[in-house]
Structure 1
Amino acid sequence: MESDEQLYPIAVLIDELKSDDVNLRLNAIHRLSTIALALGPERARDELIPFLQDSLDDEDEVLMALAEELSSPFVDYLGGPPFAHLLLGPLENLAAVEETVVREKATDSITKIAEVLSQPQVEEHYIPLLRRLSGGDWFTSRTSATALFSAIYEKAQPATQDDLRKMFSQLCNDDTPMVRRAAARDLGPFAKKLSKELVVSDIIPLYRRLSSDDQDSVRLLTVQDLIAIAEVLENEETKNYLLPSIRNAVIDKSWRVRYMVADHFVKLAAAVGEEIVRDELVMAFVHLLKDNEAEVRTAGAGQVPGFANLIDQDIILARLMPCVRDLASDSSQHVRAALATQISGLAPLLGKEPTIEHLLPLFLQLLKDDFPDVRLNIISKLEQVNEVIGIDLLSQSLLPAIVELAEDKQWRVRQAIIEYIPLLGNQLGVQFFDEQLSNLCMSWLGDTVFSIREAATVNLKKLTDVFGVEWARQTIIPKVLQMGSHPNYLYRMTTIFAITTMAPSLNTGAIADNVIDTVAQMVDDPIPNIRFNVAKAFEVLASVLNQTAQGKELIQQRIVPGLEKLKDDTDADVRFFAQKALDSLQGR
């Protein structure tokens, strides 16, 4: 006879799953593996799984958590792979519910469990499940079924494989658009499990039917099927069987279908082979880049360097560059922004002279664009251009645009360019930075907007990480410390903020040089806000100095006396932060 202690886990689970509190039920589901472990494999199989199968009437959130829990790792709690098929029962129920995210999670778990099933388990348990879902009265089960074929096709017997292809064919011809949409989504993965002969005889007719469906939501999903099928076939076979479909997709009446073609164009071109790319896809791509819908042109702009990599330079110059020039002047800012992100990728493909002749004028044009994102996207991807044409030519066009962005009347634009400065410094080198950008970075420290001043201090830390502490000692730190004696308290405050932010990137030598003296002098500042920030700065500096013997000596000579003085300050906040810093030092 079983003790109350042995019965406890399942009893608690039943109580929690019947609770009115959703969070309690969710908590019970998330503890299923612990409960299964407590029960042991036999009782988990005999009691837990049947209970879960019979108690699936619940909130979508709870059902989704259950579908996630009953995945392949749970197999171990049932006694290993020989019992993995027991999880298919509850998951089959979940795969037929109304809520899409629950069904998707359930089918994901089923396909993961399929990996550990033996061939007898597949034939005896998985195939019947697939038949029930595929023939379900309600469309939800049939939409789930389409995702389950590819996982076990190779494990099935030849006669069963024939049935599987017939079942999938029926789903592709289903009366319900949602089922055909699911079939279109899963046709490509299923095709990759079949021999080339079966792809030609069985899959291509299904693809053609779906790609000419009256619902554009079905047709758009067949673009990825087209790529999957082309990857299975030889190039000549692709030309014979798929070329009309490719042409139709490029000129589809629905912009959403054309968008999908444009968005996947490089993958499609890579799959179909060089001859089709040269003879058909170059003009097809030009057609998409000139599409009357901005969304399609945006997607196409994102594919420009990837597609250009598959064709000869003379074709790039003759066919693609006129389209690129048009996109740089496109009426849609989103198209121009997408092009700005990608256009630098053309430079390595064209080489120095064509880049200077054809691309540089477009860079200049985009750097002057009214839309800040266009300008920022160009600036963020300059490394490839720099490698091709050199810093001298690049800087002549780049610097005015950076200065213009740095002084933009919208503070968010100024903040965005600040965040790109370390990247630019890394791309363009320390000499360019010192000559052209150093003063700009210092000017941001005096900006009227606090967020800009704060971003500027973080920028200095990142630049120190890029160029090194020695560079910071020579170039940045002296200019920061000069502001420590400025009549305007905001400048003095910025000095303290900058020192505190940069400190973790500095070493004892850099701090000992001048930094510690400047901070110590500000102990007597008339503004309480500055004095309590001095206390905070002392605490951060001490954490860096504490790593060396010289640093420990500096702490005792300069930092501790300053904090002792601030500890007796007339302002309560100053006293608080000074005491906090002293306590931190004593803790060390």
Structure 2
Amino acid sequence: MAAYDKFVDDSLYPIAILNDALKSEDLQVRVNSIKKLSTIALALGEERTRLELIPFLSGSFHNENEMLLTLADQLGNFTPLVGGPEYGMHLIPPLESMATVEEVLVRDKAIESLRLVAAQLSAQDLENHVVPALRRLVSGNWFASRASACGLFSVCYASVSRAVKLELRSNFRKLCQDEVPTVRRAAASKLGEFARVVEIDYLKSDLIPSFVELAKDDQYYIRVLAVEACISVTELLTQDAVMHILLSTLYQCASDSSWHVRYKLAEKFVDLQKVVGPKIMQRDLISIFETLLQDPEPEVRATSVTNIKDFCANFNITDQQKVIKKSILPRLYKLVSDRNTHVKSKLASVIMGLSPMLGPHNTIKHLLPLVLKQLTDKCPEVRLNIISNLDYVNNVIGIRRLSKALLPVIVQLAEDSKWRVRLAIIEYIPALVGQLGQKFFDKELCEIYERFLNDHVYAIREAAALNMKKLVELFGVQWAKQTIIPIVLNMSGNKNYLFRISCLFCLNNLAEVCGADIITKKFLPTILLLASDLIANVRFNVAKTLQKISPHLDASIVDIQVKPTLMKLYGDADEDVKYFASEALAAIANM
């Protein structure tokens, strides 16, 4: 790459130097050469870039896909380097050439860059240079050029004359009917984009018939793309036009023979709902959505279930309860017992989002039985998703109504083999006991919490220690002194040093809420005892803990008990212990 240091200072032979670099046997060297084209262009100047560099690049390496991909990317930003938009047409020939190669990544990047260049050109230059290139691509014998052409219609259409617009619409229709599925697929992927720039009358007469045909194509992946285009087309039409022109196509997609098409419709259903208008929502979309919720393919049902809350929320407030009770709940009664656990799990994550829309009475009458059923589901993920989203129901009816059903589930999930399940339970406990009170915790959850503190997974012990602070804030220091602190201090005698470290971590967190008296009388003796632990990791955590609690202690206690212990640790043979002791001593000195 030394050649590149040369042409920056010597602009006489930059293309020759570039040519030498492109002959390297190392592909990465050749690719890096292309990445530095902007530097070469600056050295050459705008005119020589147009007249020398661009023609050179056009014929240098037709079979190097990686280099062509890099070049196509570079040329998209080359308009200022060739003299600005008035000279942008010089970039069209090499990009057009790359838009015809077999490698799809190169073609896509070439069209992307060609669109960037075309967007900067004047209307006259578009018609004189980009449209002819589009014609050549459309009429190409090789399917790749026709597929690439589909990406240029929308950037040209708005700025050209009426006669050219007519030609563009005609050519796009031809591509939608092309004998090669790859071309029809490209046309389907760009139909929605093209629809946005075509006049409404021509949209109805020219593009919608093509859309309807693509939605019936014998290739399922083309029909999938037609579903995406449907949203763009629907957005541009009135409700009456949608009912007369597109509604039958929507019903057809909902019962398509390929589950991929039905899946795409389910995935985009809420987006579609937002553009069709209230009349079609009430008259047609509800029944289509019900069909998708009962689809034979689990993936379609799961995706539809994910959209339940948003689907219902898009109706006005007066209609929400009616839609849920009449159309959604009958489907949910079956879905909570679905044979596929993925579907049930998705339902568990959204079902309680219906609670605010149903209100207290209907939540208790209709939704609560379904929630309770899912709480007893055999799949842990289903039960976990219910518990993780209980806030919805809690805000509407209060969690006390669920406490009897929740307790056995919590006990079971607390012992689940998957640590992430246990972690979710820990994180929910403060919110749960905040509603059910101290007595409930002491009677039902204290023993479970102690198991969390002694769990073999660090993340569980850490989460339990962090949430302990929230429990003390809820129930008070006196409760902590009687209930939770003895459990923590007992961990200091555990034979496993990891649990002794967890004890220190708990004391760290509790120090912020327990006050100087408890820290001095309860915490400090245990911490000082652990300063003589045989394990270095325990000793340096003692140093960190002493640093953390010192601001909460009287100065005399710090001088008499804390500093001597830290000085002893500073003389420890272990470097980590010595380091953290010195850090603690420095922090205390600055208090």
TM-score (normalizing by structure 2): 0.83
1:323 aligns with 2:331: yes
1:415 to 391, 416, 420: 420
**Counterpart residue number, 2:214:** 210
Please name the residue that 2:569 is paired with: 566
Residues 583 and 309 of structure 1: CA distance in aligned 2, closer, same or farther (over 3 Å): closer
- In 1, Cα distance between equivalents of 2:168 and 2:567: 81
1:369 alignment partner, one of 370, 377, 396: 377
Residue of 397, 400, 403 corresponding to 1:389: 397
Aligned equivalents of 2:118 and 2:437: distance in 1?
57
Residue equivalent to 1:68:
73
2:459 maps to which residue? 454
The equivalent of 2:349 in structure 1 is: 341
Whole-angstrom CA distance in 1 between matches of 2:60 and 2:276: 50
Alpha-carbon contact 2:400-2:436 (below 8 Å) kept: no
1:17-166 counterparts in 2 under 5 A? Answer: 17-57=22-62, 60-72=65-77, 74-166=78-170
SS of structure 2 residue aligned to 1:351: helix
2:485 aligned with 1:485 = no
Offset, 1:7: 4.6
Matched, 1:314 2:318: no
**Structure 1 counterpart of 2:411, which letter?**
V
Q: Deviations over 1:18-73 (max 9, x none)?
A: 3222333343344444444455444444444334333344654444344333334x
Structure 1 residues not aligned, in runs of 5+: none
* Deviation by residue 1:103-124 (Cα, 9 ceiling, x = unmatched): 3333333333333222123222
Is the Cα contact below 8 Å between 1:481 and 1:495 reproduced in 2? yes
Aligned equivalents of 1:292, 1:416: Cα separation in 2: 30
Deviation at 1:401, TM superposition (A): 2.2
In the alignment, the residues of structure 1 paired with residue 270 and residue 437 of structure 2 have an alpha-carbon distance, to the nearest angstrom, of 37
TM-superposed CA distance for 1:433, in Å, is 8.1
Change (3 A) 1:343 1:302: same
For 2:4, the equivalent position in structure 1 comes to none
- Whole-angstrom CA distance in 2 between matches of 1:370 and 1:173: 51
Conserved 8 A contact 2:88-2:117: yes
> How much does 1:179 deviate?
0.9
Question: Larger deviation: 144-153 or 231-240?
Answer: 144-153
- Kindly indicate whether the alpha-carbon contact (under 8 Å) linking 1:88 and 1:126 is maintained by their aligned counterparts in 2: yes
Q: Which residue in the other structure is 1:219 paired with? A: 223
- How far apart are the structure 2 equivalents of 1:64 and 1:468? 58
Q: CA RMSD in A?
A: 3.8
Runs of at least 5 residues in structure 2 that lack an aligned partner in the other structure? 1-6
Tell whether the 8 Å contact from 1:520 to 1:562 is kept in structure 2 after alignment.
Answer: yes
Shift of 1:92: 2.6
- AA paired with 1:287? T
> 1:260 is aligned with what amino acid?
K
- Listed one character per residue, the Cα deviations across residues 309-367 of structure 1 (whole Å, up to 9, x for unaligned) are 34522232122211111111111111112212221221122111111111112112222
- 1:444 lines up with 2:452 in the alignment: yes
Residue in structure 2 matching 1:522, options 515, 520, 530: 530
- Where does residue 3 of structure 2 map in the other structure? none
Counterpart CA distance in 1 for 2:552 and 2:86 is 64
Distance in 2, matches of 1:263 and 1:443, equals 42
Give the letter for the 2:534 counterpart.
Answer: P
Change (3 A) 1:524 1:285: same
Query: Given that residues 441 and 456 in structure 1 are in contact (C-alpha distance below 8 angstroms), is that contact kept between their aligned partners in structure 2?
Result: no
> 1:32/1:233 Cα in 2 relative to 1: closer, same or farther (>3 Å)?
same
Kindly indicate whether the alpha-carbon contact (under 8 Å) linking 1:484 and 1:518 is maintained by their aligned counterparts in 2.
no
Deviations 1:507-532 (A, max 9, x none): 99889946676544322013344235
Distance 1:366 1:552 in 2: 56
Higher mean C-alpha deviation, range 315-324 or range 384-393? 384-393
* Deviation of the 1:492 alpha carbon: 0.7
Q: Which has the larger radius of gyration?
A: 2
User: In the superposition, relative to structure 1, how do residues 48 and 378 fare at CA in structure 2: closer, same or farther (>3 Å)?
Assistant: farther
Whole-angstrom distance in 2 between the partners of 1:31 and 1:511: 68
Pair 163,554 (structure 1): closer, same or farther in 2 beyond 3 Å: farther
Q: Is the 8 A contact 1:16 1:25 kept in 2?
A: yes
2:244 aligns with one of 231, 234, 240: 240
* 1:12 Cα offset (Å): 5.4
Name the counterpart of 1:358. Answer: 366
Counterparts of residues 479-558 of structure 1 (less than 5 Å): 481-483=488-490, 485-489=492-496, 490-496=498-504, 513=519, 518-534=526-542, 537=544, 542=547
Could you tell me which residue of structure 2 aligns to residue 378 of structure 1? 386
Matched, 1:258 2:268: no
TM-score with structure 1 setting the length: 0.84
Supply the AA of the counterpart residue of 1:271: V
Q: Distance in 2 between matches of 1:438 and 1:481?
A: 12
- Deviations, residues 374-419 of structure 1 (Å, cap 9, x unaligned): 22322333332222222322444334323321111x1x2x323414
Residues 359, 145 of structure 1: alpha-carbon distance in 2 compared, 3 angstrom cutoff: same
Does 2:208 match 1:200? Answer: no
Distance in 1 (CA, whole Å) between partners of 2:517 and 2:117 is 59
Give aligned-pair identity as a percent. 39
